[in-house]
Amino acid sequence: MLNRRRLLAIGGVATGGALLWGVRETTTAEATNASASPSSSHHAHHSGGAMAAAAEPTSGTGTPPPFTPFSSRLPVPPVLRPLSTSGDTDVYELPLQHAKAEFFPGHPAPVLTFGGGFIGPTIRAKAGRRVQVRYVNQLDRAATVHLHGGHVPPGSDGFPMDLIEPGQSRVFDYPNQQQGATLWYHDHTCSKEAEHVYRGLAGFYLIEGQDEAALGLPRGSYDVPIMIRDARFDENGGMIFEPSPMPTTLHTNGRLQPYFPVDARKYRFRVLNATLHRIIELDLGGLEMVQIASDGGLLPEPLPRKKIMIVPGERVEVVVDFSAQAVGSKLVLNDVYGGANEPVLRFDVVRRAWDSSRVPGRLRELPELPAATNVRDVKLSFSPSGEEFAINDKTFDPNRVDTRIVEGTTEIWRVTNADPADTPFGPVNHTFHMHLVPFRVLDRDGKPPLPGENGLKDTVLVRPGETVRVQATFSGYKGRYLYHCHLQEHSDIGMMAQMEIV
Q: What are the Cα distances from residue 124, in Å, to 147, 207, 223, 355, 467? A: 13, 6, 12, 23, 36
Q: For every one of its 502 residues, what pLDDT tens digit does the chain have, with 9 covering 90 and above? A: 455 666 677 776 555 443 322 222 333 333 333 333 323 333 333 332 222 233 344 445 668 999 999 999 999 999 999 999 999 999 999 999 999 999 999 999 999 999 999 999 999 999 999 999 999 999 999 999 999 999 999 999 999 999 999 999 999 999 999 999 999 999 999 999 999 999 999 999 999 999 998 999 999 999 999 999 999 999 999 999 976 667 899 999 999 999 999 999 999 999 999 999 899 999 999 999 999 999 999 999 999 999 999 999 999 999 999 999 999 999 999 999 999 999 999 999 999 999 999 999 999 999 999 999 999 999 999 999 999 999 999 999 999 999 999 999 999 999 999 999 998 888 999 999 999 999 999 999 999 999 999 999 999 999 999 999 999 999 999 999 999 999 999 999 999 999 999 9
Cα 7 from Cα 3, distance rounded (Å): 6
First to last CA, the chain: 39
DSSP string of 236-264, one letter each residue: TS-EE----SS--EEEETTBSS-EEEEEE
Q: Are 316 and 170 in contact (CB under 8 A)?
A: no
Q: Are 197 and 309 in contact (CB under 8 A)?
A: no
Cα 236 from Cα 60, distance rounded (Å): 7
Q: Are 376 and 474 in contact (CB under 8 A)?
A: no
Name the β-bridge partners of 126. Answer: 208
Q: HSE of 374 in the Cβ direction (CA atoms, 13 Å)?
A: 14
Cα 328 from Cα 350, distance rounded (Å): 6
Q: HSE of 274 in the Cβ direction (CA atoms, 13 Å)?
A: 32
Residue 14 one-letter amino acid? A
Of 491, 12, 432, the closest CA to residue 244 belongs to 12
